[in-house]
Structure 1
Amino acid sequence: MLKWVLVVVLLVLVTGLLRPGTARRLRLGRLPGDLAFRFRGQSYHFPFATTVLISVLAWLILRSL
């Protein structure tokens, strides 16, 4: 059990550190189905399609293990 907790913590840490660069290269957050708009000077971003894509990829990876 402790190994899985350690793996999850490390995965979250690495993902958090690499996310901005990786998102820029893979154009995540700009897929069709992702909503981004400005309202009263504030930017709002709702990455629906990116969330579904990442969820499916994570499911496939975990399913193959």
Structure 2
Amino acid sequence: MIRWVLTIFIALVVFSAALPWLEKLGVGRLPGDVRFTLFGRKFFLPFASTLLLSMVVVVVARLLR
């Protein structure tokens, strides 16, 4: 189970780092992406965008097989 937690954490870090570039494509503003401010800091949890990008990666991987 710890592998899944680490995988999800790494995916969120990578996605958050690539978010400025991906926002130009419309990713990051889907229903299910949560943005909130807590104690003056802005947080972003891209649940729907992560699922969408994961599905795209799976489809591409299956096509390349």
* TM-score tier (shorter): 0.5 to 0.7
Tell me how far apart the structure 2 counterparts of residues 58 and 27 of structure 1 sit (CA, whole Å).
Answer: 17
TM-score by length of 2: 0.64
Tell me how far apart the structure 1 counterparts of residues 52 and 23 of structure 2 sit (CA, whole Å).
Answer: 16
Q: CA deviation at 1:24?
A: 2.5
Q: Report which structure shows greater RCO (CA 8 Å, sep ≥6).
A: 2
1:47 aligned partner: 46
Tell me how far apart the structure 1 counterparts of residues 40 and 51 of structure 2 sit (CA, whole Å).
Answer: 28
Divergent runs of 4+, >4 A: none
Q: Could you give the per-residue CA deviations for residues 6-58 of structure 1, whole angstroms, max 9, x where no partner exists?
A: xxxxxxxxxxxxx433x122121111000000011011100000000000000
Q: Secondary structure at the match of 2:24?
A: helix
The answer to whether 1:62 aligns with 2:56 is no
Tell me how far apart the structure 1 counterparts of residues 26 and 52 of structure 2 sit (CA, whole Å).
Answer: 12
Larger of the two Rg values belongs to structure: 1
Structure 2 gaps of 5+ residues are 1-17
Report percent identity of matched pairs. 39
TM-score by length of 1: 0.64
Structure 1 gaps of 5+ residues are 1-18
